[in-house]
Amino acid sequence: MKKISKHTLLKTAIIILSVLLVAATASAVYFVVQDNKSKNQIESLNKKLADEKSSHEADMQSNSEAFESLENEKSSEAQSYEDRLSAESSANQSKVDELNKQIESLNKQLAAKRAASTTKRVDSQSVTPSTPPAQSRGKTVYLTFDDGPSQYTPEILNVLDRYGVKATFFVVNGRYNSVMKDIVNRGNAIGLHSYSHNYASVYSSDAAFYSDLNKISAVVKEQTGVETKIMRFPGGSSNTVSKKYSAGIMSRLAKSVTENGYVYFDWNCANGDAAGANTVEKQLANCKSYPKSASNIIVLMHDSKSTTLEALPKIIEYYKSCGMSFGVLTTATPPVHHGINN
């Protein structure tokens, strides 16, 4: 075998090392290039992400501004609608007030016409005074009206004034409460009847009765300034309807109202306007049927009945023709009491 010289081996080794060096350099260059390429790609991606983020934020800002603008617009529309409703409500209230004034004016005109008509009836249907019967001279008649005030009460007051007569009104709560002041201012007496006049409610218990009584007392005080202590039970003290709601309640109440400082009045004569006497003639006939032995006559009528307004002049004239005087009930007036039935 031919022997290789050291020179040849050295030369070969140099060649191999050179090749390896070139390969290593090429590999290093490759990786550097690849690394730079990757960095460029990353930078490109980061820039793209930054651009998209900026665009998204711009869109969000734009949407927020648009939403805020829309919200402001709707709020403005709501305020405008509320302002219109308020203006319309004020206009409608003004119309209601104007209509109420017109209604009040018409009621006054109607009352004046009815009063004039009543005066004519008084002149044409006057009861010719006669010599008073002995049993009626010196008696006092107390005209009392329940269940008002009503639309007829002002006209009834006019009739009373024309004859110089005063009466007693046992009132309830209703549409014409303001007339209570006129009742008192014109010299008449005012008494308590009921706030609701609902038997089922008023007579359901003692407490319910006093609750109702206190309410109508407060109404009278508010309207007139008067704290009246005269009263009349709904249905009178002899009513039997209360049995349906509370056994024995009238016996208890007749005693307790007196203990509480009230004076209650029933009646010993009635014109019958709540019991079918719907003509002047029937009411006058009933008023003539007073107890001849009684020193005081308490007449039950209702100022909520139109026929009572028509009959009142003849009723007054009849009692005047009998030589009776007229009075108003007070806590000092001797009361008329019925027998208690419950």
* pLDDT tens per residue across span 63-81: 667 667 666 776 667 677 6
The Cα–Cα gap between 39 and 47 comes to 12
List 147, 193, 273, 302, catalytic entry: 302
Please tell me whether residue 246 adopts helix, strand or coil conformation. coil
Percentage of the chain lying above the pLDDT 90 cut: 58
How high is the mean pLDDT of the chain? 84
- What is the pTM (predicted TM-score) of this model? 0.64
Query: Of 1-5, 34-38, 303-307, which gets the smallest average pLDDT?
Result: 1-5
pLDDT at position 1 over 70: no
- Enumerate helices (H) and strands (E) in the chain, giving the number of each: 8, 8
User: Which residue type sits at 307?
Assistant: T
* Separation of alpha carbons 51 and 40, rounded Å: 16
The whole-angstrom separation of Cα 187 and Cα 169 is: 11
Residue 25 — very low, low, confident or very high, per pLDDT cuts 50/70/90? confident
Selected catalytic residue, list 146, 147, 212, 273: 146
Per-residue pLDDT of 282-294, as tens digits, reads: 999 999 999 999 9
Task: Take residue 136 and report the two structure tokens written for it.
Answer: 């009626």
Element (H, E) at 323: none
Which whole number is the average pLDDT over 249-270?
98
Those residues whose C-beta lies under 8 Å from the C-beta of residue 138, and which sit 6 or more positions away, are 295, 323
The two tokens of residue 211 are 């609750």
Residue 302 a catalytic site member: yes
Rounded Cα–Cα distance for residues 330 and 59 (Å): 88
Query: Does position 110 have pLDDT exceeding 70, yes or no?
Result: no
Instruction: State the greatest distance between any 2 C-alpha atoms of the chain, in Å, as a whole number.
Output: 191
Q: Is 303 a catalytic residue?
A: no
Residue 86 has pLDDT above 90, yes or no: no
Query: Which of 333, 2, 315 lies closest to 160 in space, CA to CA?
Result: 315
Residue 334: strand, helix, or coil = coil
Q: Which band of pLDDT confidence, cut at 50, 70 and 90, is reported for residue 91?
A: low
C-alpha radius of gyration, the chain, whole number: 51
Q: What percent of the chain has pLDDT over 70?
A: 74
- Residue 92: its pLDDT value, please? 62
Label residue 118 by pLDDT band (50, 70, 90). Answer: very low
pLDDT of residue 227: 98
**Angle formed at CA 331 by CA 198 and CA 327, multiple of 5 degrees:** 95
Rounded Cα gap, residues 160 and 58, in angstroms: 89
Are the C-beta atoms of 183 and 223 separated by less than 8 Å? no
Length of the chain (residues): 342
Q: How confident is the model at residue 7 (pLDDT cuts 50, 70, 90)?
A: confident
Contact criterion met (CB below 8 Å) for 265 and 144: yes
Which tokens in the block code for residue 46?
């980061």
Cis peptide before 129 (omega within 30 of 0): no
pLDDT at 121: 47
